Amino acid sequence: MIDVKLLRKNPEIFYDALKKRNMEIEIIDKILDVDKEWRQLVAKVNELKAKRNEFSKLVAKAKAEKDNEKASKLIEESKKIGEEIKKIEEQEKKLEEEMQNLALNIPNIPAEDVPFGKDESENVEIRRWGEPRKFDFEPKAHWDLGPELSMMDFERGAKLSGSRFTVLYSYLARLERALIQFMLDVHTKEHGYTEVWVPQLVKREAMLWTGKLPKFEEDAYRIEKDDMFLIPTAEVPLVALHAQEILSEKDLPIKYTAYSACYRREAGSYGKDVRGMIRQHQFDKVELVWITTPERSFEDLERLTQDAERILQLLELPYRVVSLCSGDLGFVSAKTYDIEVWLPSYNSYKEISSCSNTTDFQTRRSNIRYRGSDNKLHYAHALNGSGLAVGRTLVAIVENYQNEDGSITVPKVLVPYMGVEKIEVK
């Protein structure tokens, strides 16, 4: 949620933000018009309330002087003022709701160091780690390797649930589970996160608090009868855990990690990455969330990103980190780093994690504040990132660790979790 007071004081900030995001700016003018009308009504109500208070004093005085006729007339006038106040307050409430609904559709303000650009083609590479493997045979895509091992089944996934669902068997099913356990172990034991088990169905409020609604309702799976939503990411319940709470500065940063299945309709993404497991309607993810202070949130974003990178380094998978440009920045994000893993099937890097600082955008919506050392209340900052997307990590292992005979070597760090060093047809 944007700061309406800041919008009122410095609308240029928001005009500039929307231009950087290649969005229309008329909505800012609309909010300012509604806000002006609302403030005029507020002033009118305050004026009428002051007038009613004066009438109350005059009524008391008339009664003290036993002038009942005058008191009755004054009471009648006071009632008329009360009715007028009620009428104006109803208009005021409608305008406030209109302003709120408009404000919910304004994205976060990009950080100053976010590169300017129109779309993903203008994202800026920050660094690379590892070198893509040079195969001495023609490598296969995971959508061929998995079925040849009889461990990845797209046809039965479609039979059960439709397109973009997959069934895993045997050692690939175990690899999915091993990756979840491995990621959680690294983040809790090495990076100091608290593991959380969260509901995968949440109320509408939780989606609204975290900026998934109203803009992305079309992309969400909704249980209509209960007006509840299957989570698109564990970021939603993890951030919403502290909604409407006042935290203590000494307890910050709070660092949470959680495994969950994630559910996305992927509305509007038809034709993108339709083969294999890259873009699924249901997928597993280990999420990282920080609740921190404004003073350190961008520094903490660097740490969170490094925590996600560490998983790929331990798995010895080559990747790169890119800073998203203003035109590719997510709705709630002020700054985002995408971590992209190398996939031989695409002969390029594909996103495996997005690490974002949402500043006070989500915390304003969810009213997450902390009491600072100055004894004043401040909005916290919320950060999130994938640590990592499990299915895409499995795909990266299958493709990068494949052997000419169709088997897959298990990364060294996963051998204790898998119990085997190689995945092959028995």
Active site residue 354: yes
End-to-end CA, the chain? 55
Catalytic residue among 326, 353, 354, 356: 354
Note if 264 is an active site residue: yes
> 250-253 contacts: CB < 8 A, separation 24 or more?
251/370, 252/291, 252/292, 252/293, 252/370, 252/380, 253/290, 253/291, 253/292, 253/293, 253/296, 253/300
DSSP assignments along 244-313, one per residue: T-EEEGGGPSEEEEEEEEEE---TT-TTSS-STTSS-SEEEEEEEEEEE-TTTHHHHHHHHHHHHHHHHH
Catalytic residue among 297, 364, 392, 399: 392
Query: Catalytic: which of 52, 351, 371, 407?
Result: 351
245 is catalytic: no
Q: Which of 264, 364, 365, 369 is catalytic?
A: 264
Q: Is 283:389 a contact under the CB 8 Å cutoff? A: yes
Q: Which of 279, 296, 303, 371 is catalytic?
A: 279
Nearest to 332 by CA among 232, 230, 200, 213: 213
Sign of CA dihedral 19, 322, 331, 245: negative
Q: Which residues are catalytic?
A: 264, 279, 351, 354, 392
